[in-house]
C-alpha cells in the first residue's frame, strides 16, 4: 500500500490497527458467548446433530480445544511464551466450535506455556455454560475436549489411563472422530488469513497479534455465514439424520439446524 498509494508505512499501520480495534470493540461479545443466538433450542439441536454421527453422547453441543500460534522469539519474557512440548515460542487461544462451523467462543491470547486446563479456568467459560448450556427442559449440555480438560456438569473428556476397556476405547474413538472438526476450523482460519502463519511478522512486543487473531476469527465466522462450510456438511453426511440432507453444495440446501446464520443474525450488538 505504501508503494501503490504513496502513503507512509506508519500511516498504513495506524489505519490497519484502528480498523482492527473498531471491529473488535464492536463485536467482541460474539467471541465470548452469544446467548441471543445460542439458545437452549439451538444447543439441543446441535447435540442431536452430533449424536447422529454415531457418537455415544446425546448431550454434547460443541467441541473445545486450544491452538498454539507460533510467534517470533521476543526479546523479553521468552520463558513465559515458550512451550516445552512443541518447543516453540507461541501464544495460545481457546475455542469452542459448533456443528454449524461457527467459532462460538474464543479466549486468548495467553502465554504458550500455560496448560489447557488453566486456560479453561481463566476463561470463565464454566460460569457461562452454567448459566446457558441447557436444553429447553433444563437438562445440562456439555462441550467435549481432550483429556486435559477433565469432567464436570458442562464439560466432558475421553476416558484416561493406559488400561481402558474395549468399550471405553471404542467410546474414545467415536468421539475423537467427530472432534476432528476443531482442527479443521483452526486450519481454515489460517488458510483464509495466511499472514497469521508467518512467524517472523508475529512479534508480540511490536504488533497487536492477539487483536489480529481475534478479528480474523470474527471474519472467519462471517465467511462461514456466506459460504457452505466444510464442518456443517460433515454433520449432515449421515444416514440417520432425520433432517433433509443437501443435494448440492449450496448453503440453502443445509438442514436448518446446521445452516449458519446470516450476517445480520450473527453480527448484532450486545444488548
Full-model pTM: 0.89
**What is the C-alpha separation between 36 and 123, in angstroms, rounded?**
20
**What is the C-alpha separation between 186 and 199, in angstroms, rounded?**
16
Q: Which residues of 85-115 are buried (b: 16+ CB within 10 A; e: fewer)?
A: eeebbbbbbbbbbbbbbbbbbbbbbbbbbbe
- E strands present in the chain: 60-70, 82-83, 88-97, 103-111, 142-144, 155-156
Among the listed residues 54, 155, 153, the one whose alpha carbon sits nearest the alpha carbon of residue 96: 155
Q: Write out the DSSP string of 136-177.
A: TTS-B-EEE--GGG--BTTEE----SS---HHHHHHHHHHHH
Local confidence pLDDT in tens for the 271 residues of the chain: 778 888 888 898 899 999 999 999 999 999 999 999 999 999 999 999 999 899 999 999 999 999 999 999 998 889 999 999 899 999 999 999 999 999 999 999 999 999 999 999 999 999 999 999 999 999 999 999 999 898 999 999 999 877 889 999 999 999 999 999 999 999 999 999 999 999 998 998 888 999 999 999 999 999 999 987 788 888 876 544 444 443 344 344 446 667 888 999 999 865 5
Are the C-beta atoms of 74 and 187 separated by less than 8 Å? no
Amino acid at each position: 500500500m505504501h508503494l501503490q498509494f504513496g502513503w507512509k508505512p506508519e500511516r498504513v499501520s495506524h489505519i490497519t490497527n484502528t480498523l482492527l480495534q473498531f471491529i473488535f470493540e464492536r463485536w467482541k461479545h460474539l467471541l465470548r458467548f452469544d446467548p441471543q443466538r445460542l439458545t437452549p433450542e439451538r444447543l439441543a439441536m446441535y447435540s442431536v446433530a452430533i449424536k447422529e454421527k454415531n457418537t455415544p453422547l446425546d448431550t454434547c453441543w460443541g467441541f473445545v480445544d486450544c491452538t498454539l500460534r507460533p510467534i517470533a522469539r521476543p526479546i523479553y519474557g521468552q520463558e513465559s511464551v515458550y512451550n516445552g512440548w512443541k518447543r516453540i515460542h507461541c501464544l495460545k487461544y481457546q475455542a469452542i466450535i459448533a456443528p454449524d462451523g461457527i467459532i462460538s467462543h474464543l479466549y486468548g491470547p495467553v502465554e504458550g506455556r500455560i496448560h489447557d486446563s488453566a486456560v479453561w479456568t481463566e476463561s470463565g467459560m464454566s460460569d457461562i455454560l452454567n448459566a446457558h448450556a441447557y436444553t429447553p427442559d433444563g437438562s445440562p449440555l456439555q462441550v467435549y475436549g481432550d483429556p486435559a480438560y477433565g469432567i464436570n456438569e458442562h464439560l466432558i473428556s475421553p476416558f484416561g489411563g493406559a488400561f481402558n476397556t474395549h468399550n471405553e476405547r471404542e467410546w474414545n474413538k467415536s468421539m475423537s472422530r467427530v472432534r476432528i472438526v476443531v482442527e479443521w476450523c483452526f486450519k481454515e482460519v489460517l488458510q483464509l488469513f495466511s499472514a497469521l502463519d508467518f512467524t517472523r511478522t508475529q512479534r508480540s512486543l511490536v504488533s497487536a497479534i492477539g487483536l489480529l487473531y481475534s478479528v480474523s476469527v470474527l471474519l472467519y465466522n462471517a465467511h462461514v455465514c456466506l459460504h457452505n462450510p466444510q464442518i456443517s456438511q460433515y454433520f449432515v453426511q449421515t444416514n440417520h439424520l432425520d433432517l433433509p440432507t443437501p443435494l448440492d453444495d449450496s448453503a440453502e440446501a443445509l438442514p436448518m439446524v446446521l445452516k449458519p446464520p446470516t450476517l445480520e443474525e450473527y453480527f448484532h450488538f450486545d444488548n
